[in-house]
Amino acid sequence: MVAPINLFRVVIAPANFLLWGLLWLFPCSGCRDATPLPSSPLPHPITETYEGTGPIQIVATVGMVGDMVQAIGGEHVQVTVLCGPGVDPHLFKPTRDHVAQFLASDLIVYAGLHLEGKLNDLLLRLSHQRPIYAVAQGIDPKYLLPPDSSDHAPAKAGDVSSEIYNTADPHAWMDVAIWAEAGRGLADCLSRFDPQNAADYQANYLAYQRQLLALHEFGQQRLAKIKLEQRILVTSHDAFRYFGRAYNLRVEGVQGLSTESEAGLQRLNGLVDLLVAKRVPAVFVESSVSAKNMQALIEGVQARGHQISLGGELHADSLGPANTSASTYQGMMRHNFETIAAALEE
């Protein structure tokens, strides 16, 4: 019997290898024509229009972005998400298959603000070859949090070359009202890219915005019941600063803004002091980050005689698993609101 030809190995994989090699050996094929990388950390606005006939093939980097693209694009788009449930976008490294997926798409949408740390250079290079959009382009800089909370220099509204886009905290979806606003930029991008369906994109956006603003209000009300002195949210890394600002909680991450940073002993000891002093009843792990540090923290607090529990698992940088209520952006945020409220209100 003749073995079936493995089409992937014979044709597609070498082709991918070639694409991959081309991208990295010649970082942008247009380099020789002196096409510079954008001076802003965000891609140039899209000027192309969609010429295809079927649904627009869109690759989204993370689930929160994919959810927004699907909600606004509706029946006119087909969305592939690269970082699935539990995958940490800070550490996600693209393979040549991912590069091929990007290059085969009609449009690429990513979160931006260096969330996709290891993808950033590739995305900027791809911006010379594919239409590409960062959701951060739709966020007014005045809503962005600087990386260090001690630095509150206000950004200039509407200035997309502002340094704030290079340094801001990327976890903006954790404030549902900001994410609702950011959707407007994506709806405008899709409307420009595919003008004949612009009315649908705008209508879908308004429906999505309404749902998100109702969810934002639900979150505010649900978390309002936590006692003032116990409004302290300790999680695995600094993903909840927008959340804390929007829903009035002091937030402390064991690791920094990116999961690449290490938690120091001094940081852990400082958190133990805080949790014991404020009698905080619970701390939380995140589904895309190892729970190791949080276990050390709980043991440290208990050794000081304060009973503290693990309040549950939150979804910070990825959606929850498929077939669970947290598998959509709205479900994920609702899960976070419910889990935090249940563990911190006594």
Give the residue from 167, 130, 161 showing the smallest Cα distance to 42: 161
Measured distance between the N- and C-terminal CA atoms of the chain, rounded to whole angstroms? 69
Tell me the closest approach of the beta carbon of residue 96 to Zn ion, in angstroms: 25
* Contacting residues toward Zn ion, per CB under 5 A: 239, 317
Q: CA-CA distance, 68 to 330, in Å (whole number)?
A: 10
Name the residue nearer to Zn ion (CB basis): 62 or 239.
239
Query: Which positions ≥6 away from 13 have C-beta within 8 Å?
Result: none
Tell me the closest approach of the beta carbon of residue 316 to Zn ion, in angstroms: 6
CB 219 within 8 A of CB 341: no
Name the residue nearer to Zn ion (CB basis): 318 or 330.
318
Tell me the closest approach of the beta carbon of residue 15 to Zn ion, in angstroms: 34
Angle at 17 between CA 14 and CA 23, to 5 degrees: 145
Phi (first) and psi of residue 11, to 5 degrees: -110, -50
Name the residue nearer to Zn ion (CB basis): 127 or 255.
255
Name the residue nearer to Zn ion (CB basis): 239 or 249.
239
Tell me the closest approach of the beta carbon of residue 110 to Zn ion, in angstroms: 14
Tell me the closest approach of the beta carbon of residue 128 to Zn ion, in angstroms: 28
Beta bridge partners of 56: 77
Name the residue nearer to Zn ion (CB basis): 226 or 271.
271
Name the residue nearer to Zn ion (CB basis): 119 or 187.
119
Give the residue from 128, 137, 126, 133 showing the smallest Cα distance to 102: 126
Tell me the closest approach of the beta carbon of residue 271 to Zn ion, in angstroms: 18
Tell me the closest approach of the beta carbon of residue 141 to Zn ion, in angstroms: 20
Name the residue nearer to Zn ion (CB basis): 125 or 171.
171
